[in-house]
Structure 1
Amino acid sequence: MVIWGIILIVAGVAGFFMAHSMRRDLHALIGAETLKVAELGMFHSTAVEVSGPGGFRKVCEVIGAAEPGPNGMLVSELSKTPCVWHRHEVKRRYRHVRYDSDGRRHTSQRSEKVADLTSDQPILVRDETGAVLVHPSGLRSDAMEQVVSRFEPHNAGGGPSIFGFRLDNWNRDDTIGFEYKEWVVRPGVRLYVHGEASDQTGQLMFNRPQNGGPFIASTKTEEELRRNTTLLQKVFAFGGLAAMLGGLALVIVGVIQ
């Protein structure tokens, strides 16, 4: 009982940390200015005139349609879907064997992640006034459309292949098979982008804010994201409080007994 109480207390503390993170993200969304791409370009030009290139940073938001970046249209690895951005996930499903204290054998199915890879080429987001680059590194996105979800039984001839490389290290006797999932962002998808626009790389581009704030690309509106974030904050806050109180009660009862 004491152990379960401690687990609940730890979960409650984690809930409070998550609530604080949600609160920080909410304030970031509220405080950031939504700009046209041309307006962002004017801020950048003014900063370059004053202090030179490479020092411009501005946390803000833009809304526009996704377009291929400088490297052109991409093709997703699994479904070969034309897109501007894609992500793949592969999980290995395998048999887990354990023996209890009496030596009895127990077999169950488990899974482990083999690969979780995202294309790293910048994309363009274009509104009626122009286009700006968005780098996908560290980006939190709900704009992806799932185009693959399948399971393939284990093939003794080799492990899964992704991005052109065979993952033969996962070709094991206990392997049942591999789960493949793939998501893409097609050109033309409307995106709300929140992040830090900077010219540190030599060109104006959205990246993850240096202060650790949110970096988001979403098909939702800012108002929808605010409502969702507010709801999550309350869930984590009240859930964390309930877990902590329940954990303390269990610890107290366990100690008394």
Structure 2
Amino acid sequence: MAIKKPIVVRSIAPLRKAVAGLRGKHRKVALVPTMGALHDGHFALIKQARRRADVVVVSIFVNPAQFAPTEDLASYPRDIQRDLAALTDLGVDLVWAPTEKVMYPDGFSTAVTPGGPAKAGLEDTFRPHFFGGVTTVVSKLFLQVAPNIALFGQKDYQQLKVVTRMAKDLDIPVTIVGVPTMRDKDGLAMSSRNVYLSVEERTVAPTLHRVLKDSAAKIRAGKPIADVMATGRTTIERAGFKVDYLEARHADSLAPIAPAADGPIRLLVAAKLGKTRLIDNLGV
């Protein structure tokens, strides 16, 4: 029996017609937004979507609005045929793969400007353009697909919080689901950018996760958070990284946290190894 291929649409009117046909009456639609170059982390989101909904839509769009001029938009990994083959195997119902012209047509001049967790002094300090680009494109995806639920990986933890806040603030009727980070056997968080790592860098990269685990254990044991974070930064730097941040933050608000008793804690790290910038996080 042949495997059913997903519907692939590239413009708005066919998208809405296809989603309406798939939704029918009282069927739940899940959206998994991606930028392609799919890996096991994305597949975990899709499998979770299949468990939670009747219809699974995956978007593939490398969003130029979230890349600064100095970042890797042109070289960002793209392999649409490989992605479509994987999505067929996973039983995805519909793939929304718009062009840049469709997503941002001539005269496009509206953007979302997020606050709250988007101004936490983490990714926003080093990539001030980023969350405006993310929330603009994600709000468009929500309005285009009109999903009941949307799934995002916890690896991009601040992004998860920003998108959740945006949907709530703008009264977009979608439930945001955060899915735990998928990791390689050595602990490295799966990311499309991992392909940029050299063989030597790939052996060093799991240091981030090891430091997060060690730091979380020390905080649970009652060690002062400031001391633990300072030690962690030193360890990461000695491994060869350039550290942007290693922070302990409130897991919900992302506000700075000092005593562990102040609330649930999330440790977040971003660091550059060679030319590749990696991020990760872990709950305490």
Question: Do they fold alike, i.e. is TM over 0.5?
Answer: no
Using structure 1 for the length normalisation, give the TM-score.
0.24
Using structure 2 for the length normalisation, give the TM-score.
0.23
The higher-RCO structure (CA 8 Å, 6+ apart) is 1
Decide which structure has greater helix share: 2
Decide which structure has greater strand share: 1
